[in-house]
Amino acid sequence: MFPPGLVEETIKTLALLFPQSDLQTQQWLDKFPSSSNIGLEQLQCGQLRAADRHIERFEFWHDRIVILKQQFDKSRPSTLSQWWHDRRNGAQRYTFWVAVLVLILTTFFGLIQSIEGAMQLYKAYHPN
């Protein structure tokens, strides 16, 4: 009924998209109502070895997996929470967090300098 290898590759694709050992995937699937067709059954596809994850090993689902990967690579974090959890581009991640740290430190020391300047001004007009 199906071409040879389609069912096995479909199971491998589900194992790739829904890793069995990933806690976040389990939590995400638990959000769906039990009446839906999505559930823990998708997590029972086993685990793929590193060699089985190569795109060349997928014949039937190759194009769709490539499209998913391209869309994943094109997407960029838009919220602070997404920036916090995004681990795709290490250099960009660390640059962003260094910039955030510099902004926080600049604001903090600017506030301290303003308060100190106000205290000096007050003391200059009221020396007692």
Are the CB atoms for 58 and 12 separated by under 8 Å?
yes
pLDDT for residue 106: 98
Q: Are 12 and 52 in contact (CB under 8 A)?
A: yes
Q: What is the mean pLDDT of residues 6-34?
A: 81
Task: Kindly tell me if the per-residue pLDDT of 42 is higher than 60.
Answer: no
Rounded to the nearest 5°, which phi and psi values hold at 23? -65, -40
Q: Which residues fall within 8 angstroms of residue 42, CB to CB, at 6 or more apart?
A: 14, 18, 29
Please check the confidence at residue 20 and state whether its pLDDT lies above 80: no
Prediction pTM value? 0.57
pLDDT at 57: 87
User: How many C-alpha atoms does 104 have within 13 Å on its Cβ side?
Assistant: 6
Q: Where are the domains of the chain?
A: 1-75, 78-128
Tens digit of each residue's pLDDT (9 = 90 or more) over 50-92: 888 888 889 999 999 999 999 988 888 888 888 778 888 778 8
